[in-house]
Amino acid sequence: MRKTVLSQLLDIEFPIIQGGMAWISDAQLAAAVSNAGGLGVIAGGNAPKDVVEIQIDKIKKLTDKPYALNVMLLSPFADDIIDLAIEKRVPIVITGAGSPSKYIERLKEAQIKIIPVVPSVALAKRMESLGVDALIAEGTEAGGHIGELTTMALVPQVVDAVQIPVVAAGGIADGRGAAAAFMLGADGIQVGTRFLVAHECNVHANYKEMVIDAKDTSSVVSGRPTGHPVRILKNKLYRQYCDLEKKGASVEELEAIGAGALKKAAVDGDIVYGSVMAGQVAGLVKKMQPAKEIVDEIFDECNAIIMKQFQRIASK
Ligand code: TUI
């Protein structure tokens, strides 16, 4: 499963995209994934233009391979980050947490490939009709801001609805998940949670430990009343949030708790009162490894499983 329409489209060796994780995916992690043959992604998150610009300048020194910039559309700086992508001639833009419709024409004019994250067939079709290059169909198993549908249900429905390449995301951390995604018709995979514990990932050590210690039921969804549900690992902040929700706190009060909470966990290491975003597969992530080892392991395991299943079917 090395050469797919996605790896050809993006000029990468393995059809794997690293999840763009706000406050976490910097030039160092993205360059490590790109140098390993995948597509490394710098996350703009809520950061202003000058902060993101430093990371773009940095990745250009760390790799000559393709990389992407993730634009978080809920950010107050989203317009500026799109301008930056064009000014800096970033090869690929990935968008999340909203519809990038108003930016597509300008990005296409600048010959930047655009890959929106979609949580539904309706948005997938709209994006295809506007001329995007590929889609990331992200299921609710993913960490951070999420949609409603599971990866298992969403991916084949998006695959049937569009002609362009589809990347499966949400709930994929190893070769078994990758093989399953390809069986659903995906042309590539996106992996976030497992790269959180990559040696090259600069997230705080406490955050990494919490991911490694997580079990199957450690992740929960918070923030549904605000209209921006996020998957996080259960902690004291989550319990406080639930108590306030039960007491009938306003959307503004609930949003105030969430503001700055991701930075608190990812940068300051406060995993008690910060927001530790991670996917349901955190329970599968057991050790810290170099990014290259993660990429190689996923595809070695994926190929071995697919071969084994073919042999099993053939020998019946
Ligand atoms: O964007 C993500 N994951 C994120 S962004 C983030 S930073 C943040 N912090 C606090 C609150 C909110 C965000 C942390 N994690 N994933 C991609 C993704 N996009 N998942 C789901 C969607 C999505 C949802 C609705 C994409 C488009 C969409 O469109 C709605 C519409 O406008 O039609």
pLDDT tens per residue, range 267-291: 999 999 999 999 999 999 999 999 9
| pLDDT value at 97 more than 80 | yes
Q: Taking all residues of the chain, what is their mean pLDDT, rounded to a whole number? A: 96
User: Which pLDDT score is estimated for 36?
Assistant: 98
- pLDDT 10s digits, 258-269: 779 999 999 999
* pLDDT, average across residues 286-299: 98
% of the chain with per-residue pLDDT over 90: 89
Instruction: Tell me if 16 CB under 6 Å of ligand 1.
Output: no
Statement: residue 299 has pLDDT above 80: yes
Q: Is 69 in the pocket of ligand 1 (CB under 6 A)?
A: no
Closest-CA residue, ligand 1 atom 15, reads: 144
**Pocket lining: 228 vs ligand 1, CB cutoff 6 Å:** yes
pLDDT surpassing 90 at residue 254: no
Tokens 């070769």 sit at which residue?
A: 175
- Looking at ligand 1, which residue's alpha carbon is closest to its atom 23? 97
* Model pTM score: 0.97
pLDDT at 316: 64
Cα–ligand 1 centroid distance for 306 (angstroms) = 32
DSSP string, the chain: --S-HHHHHHT-SSSEEE---TTT--HHHHHHHHHTTSBEEEE-TT--HHHHHHHHHHHHHH-SS-EEEEEETTSTTHHHHHHHHHHTT-SEEEEESS--HHHHHHHHHTT-EEEEEESSHHHHHHHHHTT-S-EEEE-TTSSEE--SS-HHHHHHHHHHH-SS-EEEESS--SHHHHHHHHHTT-SEEEE-HHHHTBTT--S-HHHHHHHHH--TT-EEEE-GGGT--EEEE--HHHHHHHHHHHTT--HHHHHHHHTTHHHHHHTT--TTTS--B--GGGGG----B-HHHHHHHHHHHHHHHHHHHHHHHHT-
Segment 98-119, tens digit of pLDDT: 999 999 999 999 999 999 999 9
The finding on whether 98 has its CB within 6 A of some atom of ligand 1 is: yes
Residue 147 near ligand 1, beta carbon < 6 Å: yes
pLDDT at 142: 98
User: What gap in Å lies between CA 160 and CA 58, rounded to an integer?
Assistant: 39
- Distance between CA atoms of residues 59 and 28, nearest Å: 7
Dihedral (Cα; 2, 14, 126, 42), 10-degree rounding:
180
User: What is the per-residue pLDDT for 314?
Assistant: 80
Task: Tell how far the Cα of 138 is from the centroid of ligand 1, in angstroms.
Answer: 10
User: Is 72 near ligand 1, meaning CB less than 6 Å away?
Assistant: yes
* Mean pLDDT along residues 150-176: 98
The answer to whether the CB of 44 is under 6 A from ligand 1 is no
Residue 43 CA to residue 55 CA, distance in Å, equals 9
Position with higher pLDDT, 46 vs 316: 46
Whether the pLDDT of residue 159 is over 80: the answer is yes
Average pLDDT over residues 203-212: 98
Cβ of 123 below 6 Å from ligand 1: yes
Q: How confident is the model at residue 157 (pLDDT cuts 50, 70, 90)?
A: very high
Using CA positions, which residue lies closest to atom 27 of ligand 1?
Answer: 98
Ligand 1 contacts CB of residue 277 (under 6 A):
yes
Ligand 1 centroid distance, CA of 307 (Å) = 36
Task: Give the pLDDT score at 255.
Answer: 85
Q: How far is the CA of 133 from the centre of ligand 1 (A)?
A: 19
Best probe residue, ligand 1, of 25, 117, 129 (max atoms within 8 Å of C-beta): 117
Mean pLDDT of 221-247: 93
Which pLDDT score is estimated for 2?
67
Band (209; pLDDT cuts 50, 70, 90)? very high
Choice from 52, 130, 145, 233 to test ligand 1 binding pocket (greatest atom count within 8 A of CB):
145
Q: Tell me which residue has tokens 């969403």.
A: 154
Q: What's the whole-number mean pLDDT along residues 83-93?
A: 98
Q: Identify which has the larger pLDDT, 309 or 222.
A: 222
How much is the average pLDDT of 277-306? 97
Q: How far apart are CA 21 and CA 35, in angstroms?
A: 18
CA dist 91 → 5, 74, 231, 312 (Å): 17, 22, 29, 42
Q: Which atom of ligand 1 is nearest to the CA of 46?
A: 7
The residue whose C-alpha atom lies closest to atom 28 belonging to ligand 1 is: 98
